[in-house]
Structure 1
Amino acid sequence: MPKIKTDYEIGQDNVTPFGMDIHNPVFIISGLSVVAFVLLTLMFQEQAATFFKWLRPAVTSTFDWFFLSAANIFVIFAFFLALSPLGKVRLGGQEATPDYGYIGWFAMLFAAGMGIGLMFFGVSEPMSHFSSSMGGVTLGEGGVRTDWAPLGGAAGDADASRSLAMAATIFHWGLHPWAIYATVALALAFFSFNHNLPLTLRSAFYPLLGERVWGWPGHLIDISAVFATLFGLTTSLGFGTTQALAGFNFLFGWGTGGVAALVLVTVITSIALISVLRGLDGGVKILSEINMGLALLLLLFIIIVGPTADIFKSFFSGGFEYLKQLIPLSTPFGRADTNFSQGWTSFYWAWWISWSPFVGMFIARVSRGRTVREFVLAVIIVPTLLCVLWMSAFGGAAISQVIADASAPVAKVAQELKLFEMVKGFPFSSVLSLLGIVLVLVFFVTSSDSGSLVIDTITAGGKDDAPAGQRIFWCTFEGLVAITLLLVGGKEALGALQAMAVSTGLPFTFVLLAMCVSLYLGLSKAAKALKPV
């Protein structure tokens, strides 16, 4: 790997108007495009709403096979790297030591990777699949049927339905998403720490593009990463806003309309700005550890006070069923259950892929000193187990309520209310609901501020010390994009948010597949240079 040109190191491509440190043209094109998107969407709301309603099902139904195939490749590739001799390579060089302990490291990658999604889907997704496997037909996001044929139905068999429901849920929150994150994070960390390249997506393509990564091919890679990150992030912020508003309305009757969404996003974005200005250690790390503690507290309470036996039954039987059904669920061709693959899986894979620059870069920044093997296995296995436990606790508790009483309210309320309806049957239910809202809001803040730091790093050419004004710009516009999509989408707001995530995730999938080839070439060269032990 060649040394970077000195003129690049001192920022020849960067301009500094008004004290800004802008990597031209990445910042200019990305920033103006986002501003134009917000303005045009607000100016043509009716047309935009119609377009968003069409876009998501159009992409997922046409490219479901591609999303499933790509996600399978990421899983196989990640485990290949961990188990091959390439796993001995250490990020930062063989003498490097970790910057963070395991607790802080896990807290940051977990909070950034899944936070709001776990809160929103922890009860609602297992419940949807449980209803389908029991023989009912429920509607997922965008009105898509959620019945799924390959795993078979289990009408009348509650325990079998529970296992099938948990298997389908775990599939979307287990090995595949974390393999995507691990692959991107590893590429960014390796080329940054081991070759002193800027911490930005283009650097991962040096073995394939050579010096062209500093020209327009590299600019386009970084611009696509900005768009994918921004819209993947605003999808999560939209879920968080919807659920937090539902929770406030559930407890206090505050309303859930557009004005309430505007106020909430504005307040939370303002808090995120403070965290962004405090930086990684002073803001994101502290909030991530606080949130991890609160999340574990809520999780333990649900496990201990709730139907403990049923929760662990969901964990083990659902986990076993997941491993048993992993290949049928992952098969991209010849599927009879297109409703499941298109209505759920394609959206999830596109969402995780669009999130991958954000989560990957964030994980990379805090992972210096880990070997490739330690990094991949930790980033995939540990969060997967935590996700399985979380879904088993919240989803399992809700399913138990429905098994005990088929008319239980948790089976009937909207997705964003299912968490609050489920804990209503617990002691201190109001406190639990309030804690759930706090978790959603803090996950909102950690996602927003860490996402702002990541986008700012990309648009500043890989620098992690860009001026505060740029971080403020990106944090502010993340909130504005979320507000815009929520307002324009109306009753289909979540569909509008998801439409943008899948539309940016599709082209970025090609980028990540090419990145796998480049990462393999770089690690192969590094592994050959290792001194024999």
Structure 2
Amino acid sequence: MSKHDKYSINNTDYTIGQDNVQKWGFDVHNAVFGVSAGLIVLFLAAILISDPGTAKATLDSVKSAIVNKFDSMFILAGNFFVVFCLGLIISPYGRIRLGGKDAEAEHSTMSWLAMLFAAGMGIGLMFWSVAEPAGYYTGSGGLTPLGVTPETPEAFKVAMGATMYHWGLHPWAIYGVVALSMAFFAYNKGLPLSIRSVFYPILGDRTWGWAGHIIDILAVLATLFGLATSLGLGAQQAASGINHIFGTHGGLGLQIGIIVGVTIITIYSVAQGIDSGVKLLSNINMLVALVLLVFVGAVGFAVSMHTIPTTIVGYVENFIPLSNPFGRTDQAWLHGWTVVYWAWWISWSPFVGSFIARISKGRTVREFLIAVLIVPTVVTTVWMSVFGGQAIHQVMDGIGSLGKNGITEVSLAMFQMFDALPLGTILSFIGICLVLVFFITSSDSGSLVIDSITAGGKVDNPVTQRVFWAVIEGLIAIALLWVGGTQAIQALQAGTISTALPFTIILLLMCVSLMLGFRTEKYK
């Protein structure tokens, strides 16, 4: 079935045809859905029939080659995205409203912020808020940011500053570029809510041909594999936490059980839609996360009050040195952390950006970018300061497992920090719940994004289709854990990160296309 939509670019009306097929409860775009599904099957077959160790080694070598050869490009592109977004905030274009001057926001500000935060990096903050700053401070693996001497006052400040550098403005600017571009061309120009639509000012009618198909197919693969990777790694972290709290020794069976449970709840959530699904879960999760943050901050009030300003100063003072890829004395740390982080954020940007775009109609460009860049950076500063500061002070004072042994296992670091606090077991249980629900919201929003892209940009697709993608994510994660465990998951992660190279070029072209689109928009 072919559906034709009219839209206008540069005051000229156009009509496009979306070659969608409706069958078996699905409404899919032939080329994007078919090719994406075929590539997913081929990739899984290759992983399943090959030795996981060999697959990991091969994909790791590809990832390392990309990281080492294109390190400067990743860093400079990340810097450009930050400057680009900050420039739009203060420019006259900031007054443009997504959806037109009379458009109204579809979600309350608090729900909107909760959803974009939960989809963007909520789970990452649970995993890395203790391990990363403590690891930088102690020089875990012999690597420290900017080559500072471990376990010194300067190392404390640089560790917190480097952590915020990875979780502050840069990743959210990357997400913001994709989200703003998609939202503008969908809501102001009437194009399908799909990555390809952003490139109409550059590609013209080729946007609806194979040039556009390839862009959307890459977005589907990066999103699906990124979510499956995170689901597998998250199951391992949650299993480690359960074993830590209850003294059990659950292994692969427990991890698969966790994935099955998360997938079942995700299926229910995506079937309910955004309002009764991901929005409700995001609101609950952010409320519980706030309670956890306040409790840990109150227990270590003096530590938190000392660490927050230290983190801010460390972030500001080291922003330029960390943003400079040239002449660094800490090349191993740069490649092992910053460049990999940038590649990961870029590979996740089609997923997170698409979801943020979907929930952001009615916001002005200025309001949108402030919410996407500044608000998460402020919240993350407080979160990292409270959790990371507590962990580093435990190391300084020799308190608990972190103080005596340092970071022994990344997935356990947060739970080990909780052990040294009052009500540590309860805090760890809450932490496990947060990890699981953050994964549910990420999987939920990711399923909605893949569903939309494979349907040619439609957002009102059959429930069956949304459920299908949620099931596929879970099955991929289970298959990888069953066949190759951590090695297979890490192989997929390496493959996902490798997609960042073409997406960096795509994001840079997005900025050009967005400015061309803005020039056609009337604003007061």
Same fold (TM over 0.5): yes
2:90 maps to amino acid: L
Aligned CA distance change for structure 1 residues 156 and 478 (closer, same or farther; 3 Å): closer
1:228 and 2:225 correspond: no
Aligned CA distance change for structure 1 residues 484 and 507 (closer, same or farther; 3 Å): farther
| Bigger Cα displacement from structure 2, 180-189 vs 51-60 | 51-60
Q: Name which of structure 1's ranges 27-36 and 454-463 shifts more when overlaid on structure 2.
A: 27-36
Q: Which residue, 402, 412, 425 being the options, matches 1:417?
A: 412
After superposing the two structures, state which structure 1 stretch, 159-168 or 254-263, moved more: 254-263
Call closer, same or farther: CA 1:440–1:409 in 2, change over 3 Å. farther
Question: Where does residue 255 of structure 2 map in the other structure?
Answer: 261
Structure 2 CA distance for aligned equivalents of residues 216 and 494 of structure 1: 31
Could you tell me which of 108, 114, 132 is aligned with 1:107? 114
C-alpha distance in 2 between matches for 1:234 and 1:55: 20
1:188 to 166, 178, 182: 182
Residue 48 of structure 2: aligned partner: 42
- Given that residues 398 and 404 in structure 2 are in contact (C-alpha distance below 8 angstroms), is that contact kept between their aligned partners in structure 1? no
SS of residue paired to 1:60: helix
Shift of residue 248, structure 1, vs aligned partner: 0.7
Shift, 1:272, TM fit:
0.7
State TM-score, norm by structure 2. Answer: 0.94
Q: Is the 8 A contact 1:60 1:342 kept in 2?
A: yes
CA distance in 2, matches of 1:369, 1:428: 43
Q: Quick one: which amino acid aligns to residue 153 of structure 1?
A: V
* CA distance in structure 2 between the partners assigned to 1:419 and 1:497 by the alignment: 25
Q: TM-score, normalised by structure 1?
A: 0.92
Inter-CA distance 432–187: structure 2 relative to 1 (3 Å threshold): same
Identify which of 317, 330, 355 aligns with 1:337: 330
- Opposite residue 55 of structure 2, the aligned amino acid is A
- The equivalent position to 1:430 in structure 2, one of 425, 433, 453, is 425
Q: What amino acid is aligned across from residue 107 of structure 2 in structure 1?
A: Y
Separation in 2, partners of 1:464, 1:418: 40
What's the counterpart of residue 291 of structure 1?
285
- 1:261: how far off? 1.9
Report matched runs for 1:438-449 at 5 Å.
Answer: 438-449=433-444
Paired residues of 1:4 and 1:197 also in contact (CA < 8 A): no
What secondary structure does 2:88 align onto? helix
Matches within 5 A, 1:156-167: 157=152, 159-167=153-161
1:155-206 residue CA offsets vs partner (Å, 9 max, x unmatched):
563x322111101100000000011111111001101111111100011111
Cα RMSD after superposing both structures? 1.8
Matched, 1:327 2:333: no
Question: Does 2:11 match 1:16?
Answer: no
Inter-partner Cα distance in structure 2 for 1:442 and 1:274: 13
What residue identity is the alignment partner of 1:28? Answer: G
How far has the Cα of 1:35 moved from its partner?
2.0
1:486/1:497 contact within 8 Å kept: no
Shift of 1:7: 5.9
Equivalent residues of 1:485, 1:496 under 8 A apart: no
Aligned equivalents of 2:16 and 2:63: distance in 1? 43
Amino acid in structure 1 at the alignment position of 2:269 = S
Contact kept, 8 Å, 2:161 with 2:314, in 1: the verdict is yes
1:493 shift after superposition: 5.4
| Letter of the 1:92 counterpart | G
CA contact (8 A) 1:486 1:496 kept: no
Give the superposition deviation at 1:74. Answer: 0.7
Question: 8 Å contact 1:170–1:391 — kept in the other structure?
Answer: yes
Of residues 347, 357, 368 in structure 1, which corresponds to 2:361? 368
Alpha-carbon distance between aligned partners in 2 of 1:410 and 1:198, rounded to the nearest angstrom: 53
2:163 to 166, 169, 179: 169
Shift, 1:409, TM fit: 4.6
Residue in 2 that maps onto 1:142: none
In 1, the alpha carbon distance for the partners of 2:225 and 2:85 equals: 25
- Structure 1's unaligned 5+ residue stretches are 133-137, 140-144
- String of CA shifts for 1:375-431, please: whole Å, max 9, x gaps: 111210000111111111111101111111177256142000000000001121111
Q: Deviations over 1:261-313 (max 9, x none)?
A: 222212211111111111111100000001001111111110001x2222222
- The residue that corresponds to 2:339 in the other structure is 346
Q: What secondary structure sits across from 1:16 in the alignment? A: strand
Aligned ranges 1:449-488 → 2 under 5 Å: 449-488=444-483
SS at match of 2:499: helix
Q: CA deviation at 1:117?
A: 0.6
Summarize deviations over 1:105-129 as a string: whole Å, max 9, x none. Answer: 1101110111111111010000110
Structure 1: how far apart are the matches of 2:423 and 2:107? Answer: 36
Match of 2:98 in 1: 91
1:245 matched to which residue of 2?
239
Task: Count how many residue pairs are aligned between Structure 1 and Structure 2.
Answer: 512
Tell me whether 1:304 sits opposite 2:310 in the alignment: no
Distance 1:254 1:77, change over 3 A: same
1:255 Cα offset (Å): 3.0
Structure 1 pair 4–348 and aligned structure 2 pair: CA distance change class (3 A): farther
Q: Distance in 1 between matches of 2:320 and 2:136?
A: 18
1:52·1:495 contact (CA, 8 Å) conserved in 2?
no
Cα distance between partner residues in 2 of 1:469 and 1:200: 20
Give the direction of change, closer, same or farther, for the CA distance of 1:270–1:55 in structure 2 (3 Å limit): farther
Shift of residue 241 of structure 1? 1.3
What amino acid does structure 2 have at the position aligned with 1:75? V
Flag the 1:487–1:19 CA change in 2: closer, same or farther, 3 A: closer
Distance 1:412 1:88, change over 3 A: closer
* Letter matched to residue 267 of structure 1: G
Cα distance in 1 for residues equivalent to 2:167 and 2:121: 8
CA–CA separation in structure 2 for the residues paired with 1:48 and 1:178: 31
* 8 A Cα contact 2:183 2:357, kept in partner: yes
In 1, Cα distance between equivalents of 2:13 and 2:349: 25
Counterpart of 2:458, as a letter, is K
- Return the offset for 1:359: 1.1
Whether 2:35 is the aligned partner of 1:29: answer yes
Counterparts of 1:390-401 in structure 2, within 5 Å, are 390-401=383-394
Q: Residue by residue, what CA displacement relative to the aligned partner does 1:78-109 show, whole Å, maximum 9, x if unpaired?
A: 11111111111111111212112211111011
- Provide structure 2 residue ranges, at least 5 long, that are not aligned to the other structure: 1-7
Q: 1:231: Cα distance to partner?
A: 2.3
CA distance in 2, matches of 1:449, 1:408: 38
Match of 1:521 among 510, 516, 522: 516
Equivalent runs, 1:50-199 vs 2, <5 Å: 50-132=57-139, 138-139=140-141, 146-148=143-145, 150=146, 152-155=147-150, 157=152, 159-199=153-193
CA contact (8 A) 1:353 1:509 kept: yes
Secondary structure of the 2:512 match is helix
Greater alpha carbon shift after TM alignment, 285-294 vs 354-363: 354-363
The one-character-per-residue Cα deviations of 1:141-166 (angstroms, maximum 9, x if unpaired) are xxxx5323x3x424563x32211110
1:485 Cα shift?
3.8
Q: In structure 2, what is the Cα distance between the partners aligned to 1:221 and 1:243? A: 33
